[in-house]
């Protein structure tokens, strides 16, 4: 089994469920919850932990507003948090999330807080530990220059690197080429390529265009439409698992963790994406980010009852 790790954000999620998304200037009532575990990086680490992968997590968190409690939760889920720096007097990142009661779709606003302290100097000190990893997940909620510094060093060392380009910003060719797999959702793919991604044909065309922009292999996450793998001129659709979504928050994070876990177990890519689809689908069936991430047993049971492959 290869060793997995995540470099990225840790947020406290403040979640409101609304009947529908609001128009500008509109006020409506909704429910409110604070979910201690959020942040794309930590969600991916937590999901890997629940799958039994014993991942390493590197990031920065503040010691106010649930910070210390947060790390205990992650450790309980089997995450090695020794790469997370606790910064005195800072707030953790905070995400304000609205979830539509109609279809579970979300809007997310993130205040980076302590995530901004993931500086290049911090990363240089961590590099020896990161060199112990085989498969490493990145997202874009921590400073890009730090992500690039780490990714360049790990690529040179021959590690397998996965980039979840979220929140999406246009990326240079050299940046995209650092990663073995880039895993945007439809919205992110649109931002990265400037191309429409409303239909399956458009998603496939945009994924191929991202290859032309420097990506080595694009795995487009398309929710209820499944996922599309684009590599070397060929696009393959991996069909979705059918679930009734309650809240899609962290489904993409769960997908990435499922992908990394399956690759670490030596699965070939199409099977790994099928497994990732199952982990992502299950994460939509409950409210919240880490509160909704499935365990290995839950994924296996789901696959058994859905004609998939149990691990
Ligand atoms: O991907 C979902 C995550 O995005 C949330 O947990 C929130 O913290 C934001 O980072």
Q: Which residues line ligand 1 (CB under 6 A)?
A: 9, 11, 13, 38-40, 43, 95, 108, 110, 141, 249-250, 252-253, 289
Question: Is the per-residue pLDDT at 309 higher than 60?
Answer: no
pLDDT > 70 in the chain, percent: 99
Predicted model pTM? 0.95
- pLDDT value of residue 80: 98
Find the 232 Cα to ligand 1 centroid distance in Å.
31
Find the 309 Cα to ligand 1 centroid distance in Å.
28
Relative to the CA of 290, which ligand 1 atom is closest?
6
Question: Is the per-residue pLDDT at 200 higher than 90?
Answer: yes
Name the pLDDT band for 311 (thresholds 50, 70, 90).
Answer: very low
Distance between CA atoms of 296 and 77, rounded to whole angstroms?
Answer: 12
Distance between CA atoms of 104 and 284, rounded to whole angstroms?
Answer: 8
Q: Which of 61-70, 135-144, 169-178, 297-306 has the lowest mean pLDDT?
A: 61-70
Mean of the per-residue pLDDT values of the chain: 94
Question: Is the per-residue pLDDT at 289 higher than 90?
Answer: yes
Strands 11-18 and 31-38: antiparallel
Per DSSP, which regions of the chain are E strands?
A: 4-7, 11-18, 31-38, 56-62, 80-87, 93-100, 106-111, 135-138, 160-163, 181-182, 218-221, 227-231, 234-238
pLDDT > 90 in the chain, percent: 84
Question: pLDDT tens for residues 142-185?
Answer: 999 999 999 999 999 999 999 999 999 999 999 999 999 999 99
| Residue whose entry in the numeric block shows the structure tokens 């905070």 | 94
What is the mean predicted confidence (pLDDT) over 71-82?
96
Question: pLDDT tens for residues 99-112?
Answer: 888 888 889 999 99
**Whose CA is closest to atom 9 on ligand 1?**
39
Question: pLDDT tens for residues 261-283?
Answer: 999 999 999 999 999 999 999 99
């Amino acid at each position: 089994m290869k060793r997995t790790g995540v470099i990225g954000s840790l947020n406290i999620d403040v979640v409101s469920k609304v009947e529908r998304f609001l128009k500008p200037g509109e006020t409506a009532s909704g429910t409110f919850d604070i979910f201690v575990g959020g942040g794309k990086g930590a969600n991916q680490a937590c999901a890997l932990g629940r799958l039994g992968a014993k991942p390493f997590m590197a990031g920065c968190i503040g010691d106010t507003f649930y910070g210390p409690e947060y790390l205990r939760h992650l450790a309980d889920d089997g995450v090695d948090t020794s790469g997370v720096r606790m910064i005195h007097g800072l707030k953790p990142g905070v995400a304000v999330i609205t979830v539509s009661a109609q279809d579970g779709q979300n809007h997310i606003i993130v205040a980076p807080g302590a995530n901004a302290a993931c500086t290049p100097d911090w990363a240089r000190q961590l590099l020896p530990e990161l060199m112990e990893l085989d498969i490493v997940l990145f997202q874009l909620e921590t400073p890009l220059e730090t992500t690039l510094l780490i990714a360049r060093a790990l690529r040179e060392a021959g590690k397998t690197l996965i980039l979840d380009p979220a929140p999406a910003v246009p990326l240079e060719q050299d940046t995209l080429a650092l990663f073995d797999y880039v895993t945007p959702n439809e919205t992110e793919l649109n931002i990265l390529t400037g191309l429409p991604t409303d239909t399956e044909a458009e998603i496939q065309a945009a994924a191929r265009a991202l290859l032309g922009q420097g990506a080595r292999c694009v795995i487009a996450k398309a929710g209820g439409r499944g996922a599309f793998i684009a590599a070397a001129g060929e696009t393959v659709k991996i069909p979705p698992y059918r679930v009734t979504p309650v809240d899609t928050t962290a489904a993409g994070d769960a997908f990435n963790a499922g992908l990394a876990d399956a690759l670490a177990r030596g699965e070939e890519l199409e099977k790994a994406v099928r497994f990732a689809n199952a982990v992502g689908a299950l994460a939509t069936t409950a409210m919240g980010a880490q509160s909704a991430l499935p365990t290995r047993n839950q994924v296996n049971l789901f696959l058994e009852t859905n004609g998939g492959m149990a691990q």
